[in-house]
Every structure is written in C-alpha cells, then in structure tokens.
Amino acid sequence: MKLTSHPYTLELKHTFTIATNSRTTTPDVLVEFEHDGIVGYGEASMPPYLGETQESVLAFHRKIDWSRFSDPFCLQEILPAIDAIAPGNTAAKAAVDIALHDWMGRKLGAPWYRIWGLNPAKTPVTSFTIGLDTPEVVRAKTREAEPYRILKVKLGRGQETDRMMINTIREVTDKPITVDANQGWTNLEEALRMIEWLAERGIVFIEQPLPKTRLDETAWLRERSPLPLIADESLQRIGDVAGLRGAFDGINIKLMKCTGLREAHAMIQVARALGMKVMLGCMTETSCAISAAVQLSPLVDWADLDGAVLIRNDCFRGATIVDGKLTLPDRPGIGVEKIK
C-alpha cells in the first residue's frame, strides 16, 4: 500500500468573498493511493478557516504507517486508526478516506452509489454560489448561473449590503435562493428582522445566521424564524450532530470538515434519526472531492456541490451538472478520471 501526496493550488474564476474574507485561490493537496496495480484518487481542500495548510497535510500523511494494515478493504479499521494519529487535520484525513473509497470501488468494479444501494436518478439539484460583490458583478454572476435552478448567496456584511445582494439578484431572476450568513449576523433582533425580510423574497433557508457558539440564541431565533435554519460552522463531525437539534432544522455536511465519506454517511443516518434535514456542501474543490460527495447525494434534501465549477483548473473529470441537477457517471469508485 502506498500513498502519494502533492500540493496543488485551485485558481478561482472570480474573487470569492464571504462575511469574513476574500480570496482568489485555495490551497489543495491531491493524493493517490496505490495497491495491487490500482490507483484511487483523493483530495484535501483547505479554505482559511479550516486551519490546515499544504505543509500540515503532507506532514500528516507522512505519519501514516501503512505496514500496520494488511487489507485496504478494512475501512472500518484503517480510517479510525488514521483518525487517531492526531486531532484535527480533517481535510488531510478526508483525502485519505476519499482515495481509499475510490480504490475499493475500482477494485470491486462498482461506483459507491451502487455499493450503498442508492438510486442515481435521485440526486438533487445543486445550488450555484454567488459571493459578496458589487451590484454589477452580482448581476453578471447571476446571469452566469442561468443553467442552475437554485442560487446560494453569501451574506453577513451588514444589512445594507445584504439587502443590496438580494435586491440585485431579484433584478435578474426569480429563482429560489438559499442564504449563507457565515456567522455574520451578530445582533439577534436584527437577524430575525432580516430573516423575516428574506422570507418575503423567495428564500428557501438560512445557513449559520449567528456565530457558531451561540446555540441558545440560535434556538431562540429558530423558534421565531419563518425559514429553516441550517448548521454549517456549528457542525464539524458526527459528535456535534445531536447537540444541534433544537437550534437548527438541519445540518450541512462537508467532507473536508468531517474526515470524508465514511463519517459523512454516518452523519446522515444520525441526522435522519433525529428528524433533521440534511444538506451536502463543499469547499472550492476539484471534481475529485465533489464527485465523492455526489455519490452520497441521493440521501440528502439539498446540495451545494458547485465547488469544481468555481475553479478554472479542474484536473479531474467526474460528476457533472446537467440542467442544474447533479449527475453521476457510471464509473467505479467515486467516478473520476484524471485529465491533466
């Protein structure tokens, strides 16, 4: 068994601005897991708030002692052992998880949606993300998103800017919109008034309206909100799910935060048992990590898996978006082919 990792920089098509920062690139690490002449692909994408770097991912991967494991099919043994090497490092762990799943599917000759018994026809539509920007750029991005049936809008820079974003988009389209405040609303009463205003303008739900530690206040807001509230920054891993019931109506699962497909699949089961809605999200990623997440998508209510279409240097071919709907390729593993 051999794992090879190398740095890669994702180049964004547009400057990406959220409530807390802006950037034009995302650091990434691509990995290959090789055994028995078969290669599985994985990826670690690291936006600033994850706290990981290309160097930390490479250092974590060097700590894995593959001689401890005799059979790469034993994911329930291998992945917890890798998780226990050090706390955190969730993107580094996700890259290994994705590569092992890809290898196993290729070895079996089956895509993961089939291994899980899922119907590929039940993949959801995905939203297209529009970051905070000037009215002119927001209008251009909205027109660029014409093939998509639902939009995701980043808010949280103040009520004047937030209202401008929604009003500008509504000048161009009446498509459903989901809102991600990225913890940017700090005044509880103002947050409620903003949600009430948004509810009159075709908004589907609100992601992370308040800072992640303010769960009691989020529960207060949820009781009064006319729109569902979805946890993003408040949710990292499976141990967080149960504690969010009551504060949120649903959760947004991201492979880079939860260590990959194994834990994401388990998180979906826990959320369903608790009566919560489920969304699959992403970072800016290549089609490698996106295609891995799409394998799970028939299980969820909503998807925000547009990360690969937001970059200009995707080096994989995998899941596609057809008329706004996620479409799974009939290829084994996570369904990707390396193209450069």
246-276 per-position pLDDT tens digit: 999 999 999 999 999 999 999 999 999 999 9
Alpha-carbon span 83 to 254, nearest angstrom: 16
Q: What are phi and psi of 62, to 5 degrees?
A: -70, -20
When pLDDT is averaged across residues 128-154 and rounded to a whole number, the result is 93
When pLDDT is averaged across residues 28-42 and rounded to a whole number, the result is 98
Torsion of CA 16, 17, 20, 21, to 10 degrees: 50
Pick from 169, 178, 202, 206: which is nearest to 191 by CA?
206
Where residue 48 falls among pLDDT bands split at 50, 70, 90? Answer: confident
Which class would CATH give 2-108?
alpha beta
Alpha-carbon span 155 to 146, nearest angstrom: 20
Per-residue pLDDT for 340 more than 80? no
Alpha-carbon span 276 to 285, nearest angstrom: 26
Q: What is the pLDDT of residue 14?
A: 83
Average pLDDT along the chain: 96
pLDDT one-digit tens code per residue, 172-197: 999 999 999 999 999 999 999 999 99
Q: What is the pLDDT of residue 126?
A: 97
Residue 14's H or E segment, with its range, is strand 2-17
Q: CA 99 from chain center: how many Å?
A: 17
Q: What is the pLDDT of residue 301?
A: 98
State both tokens at 47.
Answer: 């936006």
Contact 72, 103 (CB under 8 A): yes
Q: What is the pLDDT of residue 19?
A: 58
Picking from 155-159, 216-220, 257-261, which range would have the lowest pLDDT averaged per residue?
A: 155-159
Contact 61, 252 (CB under 8 A): no
Domain regions of the chain by residue span: 2-108, 114-338
Where residue 220 falls among pLDDT bands split at 50, 70, 90? Answer: very high
pLDDT one-digit tens code per residue, 1-28: 999 999 999 999 987 766 566 789 999 9
Q: What is the pLDDT of residue 20?
A: 62
Instruction: Count the alpha carbons within 13 Å of 153 in the hemisphere toward its beta carbon.
Output: 31
**Confidence (pTM):** 0.95
Among the CATH numbers 3.50.50.60, 3.20.20.120, 3.90.650.10, 3.30.870.10, which is that of 114-338?
3.20.20.120
